Amino acid sequence: MNVEAIIIDGMAFALPIFIMAIGGIYSEKSGITMLALEGLQGFGAFTGAIAVLILSPVIGENSPKLIYIAIFAAMIGGMIYSMLHAVLSIHFLANQVISGVVVNILAAALTTFLTSLLNESLTGEASNKIQLGAAPRFTVPYLSSVPILGAFFKDVYIFVPFIMFFALIAWYVLYKTPYGLRLRACGENPYSVDAAGGNVNGIRFSAVMICGFLSGLAGIFFAYSTSANFSPSIYMGYGYLAIAALIFGNWKILPTLGVCVFFGLAKSGGYQLTLALGLSSKVSDLFLTIPYILTLLLLIFFSKHNHPPKAVGQPFD
């Protein structure tokens, strides 16, 4: 098997899952159950794709600026859409699990409808896809020449530096700042935060918005890398894999990274195995289910060792 291809493709799958999982950690550490990652990354990808569709005739279809505009628009779009879950869960004290499911279903239906509507008005074709093209990649000099490990620095998507930057910032803010301390306390004992003069609902609202911000980045990564377009296929269960990763990572950022890398390498390894054995495309599609099968196995054997935030899912009044 091609080990380099396994690492390159595996990391391209693992890193957007990871940044989305960090968003979920922020939300759940603050006390808000986050099942809406699927919808947030999908709506973020939709917003970025619409920005590209509208601006490409203005600044040029091949302009390198488009990718950065798409990233910015996707993160802002995911953040704004996440406010729906925040309002339902925090201000209306809705059941957070139901709210997350509704946000997911609404995002899939709404973006599919709006994509067809906007395509028809702008291009004359009622297509449910927005073509984005292949995302640019780069190779890190010197480091990429290291045997085996150098594959981590080859054919890297342009999104990866953004993911690593925001992941480092998110880790620092969560564990090294007063805001992060209050956020984690809101998920353990929100009444103690309130007694100390903290704004529990404000912190929770901001945590959900951070979740949407990071999920939008993951969504536009998948839109560019997986299919080179935005379409309903963006809702492929990636958000639920991110939820599984943060649970197995015990709501901690570094262990969650390890779980995401494990999922990514398992997926790409299965695909490379089908190529090495010369198996049919039907069998290769079956190997794409490996991360989900691993999720079930991990749930069976490790879920009893997890320690979620004590106040997660509990509304604060």
Cβ atoms of residues 171 and 21 within 8 Å:
no
Whether 239 maps to a domain, the answer reads: yes
Q: Is residue 1's pLDDT more than 70?
A: no
For 62, the domain range is: 14-249
For residue 280, being part of any structural domain is answered with no
Please state, in angstroms and rounded to a whole number, the distance separating the CA atoms of residues 72 and 34. Answer: 23
Tell me the per-residue pLDDT of 189-222, one tens digit each, with 9 for 90 and over: 999 999 999 999 999 999 999 999 999 999 999 9
Q: Could you give the CA distance from residue 40 to residue 63 in angstroms, rounded to a whole number? A: 27
Asked if residue 152 belongs to a domain, the reply is yes
Q: What's the alpha-carbon Rg for the chain, to the nearest Å?
A: 20
Contact present, 309 and 28 (Cβ < 8 Å): yes
- Mean predicted lDDT score pLDDT of the chain: 91
**How many angstroms separate the CA atoms of 115 and 135, rounded?**
21
- Structurally, the chain folds into a number of domains equal to 1
In the numeric block, the tokens 């990572």 are attached to 249
**Model pLDDT for residues 16-75, shown as the tens digit of each residue:** 999 999 999 999 999 999 999 999 999 999 999 999 988 988 888 778 889 999 999 999
pLDDT of residue 234: 87
Whether 98 is covered by a domain: the verdict is: yes
The answer to whether residue 5 is domain-embedded is no
Q: How many CB atoms lie within 10 A of CB 119?
A: 18
Tens of pLDDT, residues 287-310:
677 777 877 787 777 767 788 999
What pTM was estimated for this model as a whole? Answer: 0.94
Average pLDDT over residues 249-254: 95
Give domain status of residue 314, yes or no.
no
Quick check: is 313 in a domain? no
The answer to whether residue 288 is domain-embedded is: no
